[in-house]
A = this chain, B = another copy of it.
């Protein structure tokens, strides 16, 4: 940062919703630059106004087209929207087909919409943390709704989507594999399930399959997850979906939100601590003679990594006591 754009100026820009300030701020957060923590501490008190909607699902489910329609409908209702795309296959992040990307430009020309893609790797502080803080920046910038888009596959994606208050799991009919994948890992994170491409012939089958699975799932603190059929192509179900999202937002306001928030805040504090503890101790340990010696021993299979870690910690403790 140059002197002319101090952290304070940048934060002021964000709070006024200025696109350049938002872009710069998120880049600082994404690269975990030294100013990142200061910035988050300054905007944090101004967050909590936006409704954060997570949208996840396998590639090919039509998440991006669905988001496009949702955002247009939100804009018609006068709401401003921020989008954070963590999905590498999303046109919002430059992935997917050229046609999609062109259509997306429509959205990005709108002053009431801010679109940001996050690289899925090379986050010194972790992708989930960067995404969470990027969503906070958009929240503090005054956006009414912040959409976080991820590909719903691995553990890290589930971490990322947890920044959201309302989570949509999007599927398309006839993706047998993916319903299995959902079954295996994502069933419990969805507040609303969307069967997109509802114009396809086996859409109703997919809806009833998911409904059957949901019957077996426990209630989520008074919220019964439901299925909605949409067609991003014809616009069918989009208004319904928005209504359902609003219902969930209202439900959260009735107290369910508090519990969920407390849990997440505790997790986030624990993660921040872990990172800080690790950073400070690791630097020291990695420079020790013991580190080098133990690395050699692991390489020659004299000792395994876990026992080596125990030994390093023992030494470290002894040293601390000596001082």
Contacts and interface: CB of A to CB of B under 8 A. Distances in A.
B120 A155 contact: yes
Interface string A106-130: 0000000000000111000001000
A276 B309 contact: yes
Interface string A252-294: 0000001001100110111111111110111001100001001
B95 A177 contact: yes
Nearest to A42: B304
A40 B306 CA distance: 8
Contacts of A261: 299
Category for how many chain A residues contact B: 35 or more
A275 to B, nearest CB: 8
B185 A304 contact: no
Q: Is the interface of A mostly helix, strand, loop or mixed?
A: helix
A303 B41 CA distance: 7
A310 interface: yes
Contact of A276 (B59, B120, B151, B310): B310
Contacts of A184: 88, 93, 95, 119-120
A88 to B, nearest CB: 4
A29 to B, nearest CB: 11
Contacts of A313: 273, 276-277, 280
A49 to B, nearest CB: 11
A302 B37 contact: no
A176 interface: yes
Interface string A151-183: 101111110000000000000000011101100
Given A154-B157, A270-B286, 8 more contacts: A89-B178, A120-B185, A258-B299, A265-B295, A273-B278, A273-B281, A273-B285, A273-B312
